[in-house]
């Protein structure tokens, strides 16, 4: 693991990448991306086992990650590029014609690091379960990770998958829920309340863990490593990770407004003033 201080500096840089990327094309989803920076940095810089220089679709012998809520592609692309999957300068092609960095992640353009298209919500848990089964069939000890939005849990397929994973003891798999309480139309509680989410996952038969502050890098690293203790015990694992949508940019926090809106020139400057360049802009 890189030094924690260095990784925190990287988190700031990733946040700069995110706001610059969405500003450049006046579109994209900064809010959830900013809220999940610590998760991605923790995963790719500390927890996940992989070799970015030898990316293959099959990923044999490696840990695999699946992003189910594909709209937070800016944070995914930024961290993938800063983990060696593709050149950092390619971030400036995000959402532009002929780019490999499509609005939502895809395998179609052959971007290293991506193993499934996502964007239409609710599908990633099923895919992750399939990959986890193949790991078992191949006697491959790699772990499967996935990330889901909390609003995304309103999709029925998630609960089909949740039922399957418990009934079939998919215990080489750690799902994480970005529990920020907001979705594009407003607060999750107002749009369609998830009720007691912890009780729901427990009732579905999952080992249900929590990360109280998903924007504290150390807490996320500890939380993910702690979850690994529960692998191989006959139950799938889910982490309810509390985050703040828009984290790091004051005016994007405390609201759902920046779920799917990009800052204008003036707003970008205001955001960048709060996010100093640390390891170098793309």
Partner 1 sequence: MTPLLNKFSFTEKKDTRSGFGAGLSELGKSNPNVVALCADLTGSLKMDAFQKAHPERFFQVGIAEANMMGIAAGLTIGGKIPFTGTFANFSTGRVYDQIRQSIAYSHKNVKICASHAGLTLGEDGATHQILEDIGLMKMLPGMVVINPCDYNQTKAATLAIAAHHGPVYLRFGRPAVGNFTPADQKFEIGKAVHLNEGKDVTIIATGHLVWKAIEAADALEKKGISVDLINIHTIKPLDTDAILKSVTKTKCVVTAEEHQMNGGLGDSVTQFLSRSLPVPQEYVAVNDSFGESGTPDELMVKYGLDAANIIQAAEKVIKRK
Q: What is the spatial distance between Cα 179 and Cα 158, in angstroms, rounded to a whole number?
A: 15
Told to check if 131 binds partner 1 by CB under 8 A, we report yes
Q: Which is nearer to partner 1, 133 or 231 (CB)?
A: 133
Minimum CB–partner distance for residue 188 and partner 1 (Å): 22
Options 48, 75, 161, 238; binder of partner 1; rule CB under 8 A: 161
Sign of the alpha-carbon dihedral angle for 162, 66, 148, 121: negative
Options 78, 123, 207, 243; binder of partner 1; rule CB under 8 A: 123
Q: What is the spatial distance between Cα 9 and Cα 84, in angstroms, rounded to a whole number?
A: 17
User: Residues 70, 148: contact at Cβ < 8 Å?
Assistant: no
- Neighbouring C-beta atoms of residue 183, cutoff 10 Å: 23
Q: What is the spatial distance between Cα 40 and Cα 255, in angstroms, rounded to a whole number?
A: 22
Told to check if 46 binds partner 1 by CB under 8 A, we report no
Q: Which is nearer to partner 1, 124 or 246 (CB)?
A: 124
Give the helix, strand, coil percentages of the chain, each rounded to 5.
Answer: 45, 10, 45
Contact set for partner 1, span 54-113 (CB under 8 A): 57-60, 64, 66, 106-108
Minimum CB–partner distance for residue 161 and partner 1 (Å): 5
Q: Note the residues at the interface with partner 1 (CB under 8 A).
A: 57-60, 64, 66, 106-108, 115-120, 122-135, 137-138, 140, 156-157, 160-161, 163-164, 168
């Amino acid at each position: 693991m890189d030094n924690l201080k260095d990784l925190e500096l990287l988190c700031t840089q990733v946040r700069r990448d995110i706001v610059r990327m969405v500003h450049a094309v006046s579109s994209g989803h900064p809010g959830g991306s900013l809220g999940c920076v610590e998760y991605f940095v923790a995963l790719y810089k500390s927890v996940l086992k992989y070799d970015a220089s030898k990316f293959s679709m099959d990923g044999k012998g490696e840990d695999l990650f699946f992003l189910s809520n594909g709209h937070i592609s800016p944070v995914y692309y930024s961290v993938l590029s800063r983990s060696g999957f593709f050149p950092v300068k390619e971030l400036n092609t995000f959402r532009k014609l002929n780019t490999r960095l499509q609005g939502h992640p895809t395998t179609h353009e052959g971007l290293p690091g991506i193993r499934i298209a996502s964007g239409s919500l609710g599908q990633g848990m099923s895919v992750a379960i399939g990959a986890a089964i193949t790991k078992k069939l191949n006697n491959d000890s790699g772990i499967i990770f996935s990330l889901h939005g909390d609003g995304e849990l309103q999709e029925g397929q998630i609960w089909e998958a949740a039922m399957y994973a418990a009934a079939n003891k998919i215990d080489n798999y750690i799902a994480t829920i970005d529990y920020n309480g907001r979705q594009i139309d407003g607060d999750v509680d107002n749009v369609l309340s998830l009720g007691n989410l912890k009780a729901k996952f427990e009732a579905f038969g999952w080992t249900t863990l929590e990360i109280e502050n998903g924007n504290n890098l150390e807490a996320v690293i500890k939380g993910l490593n702690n979850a690994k203790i529960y692998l191989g015990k006959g139950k799938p694992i889910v982490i309810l990770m509390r985050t703040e949508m828009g984290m790091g940019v004051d005016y994007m926090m405390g609201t759902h407004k920046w779920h799917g809106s990009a800052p204008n020139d003036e707003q970008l400057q205001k955001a960048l003033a709060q996010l100093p360049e640390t390891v170098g802009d793309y």
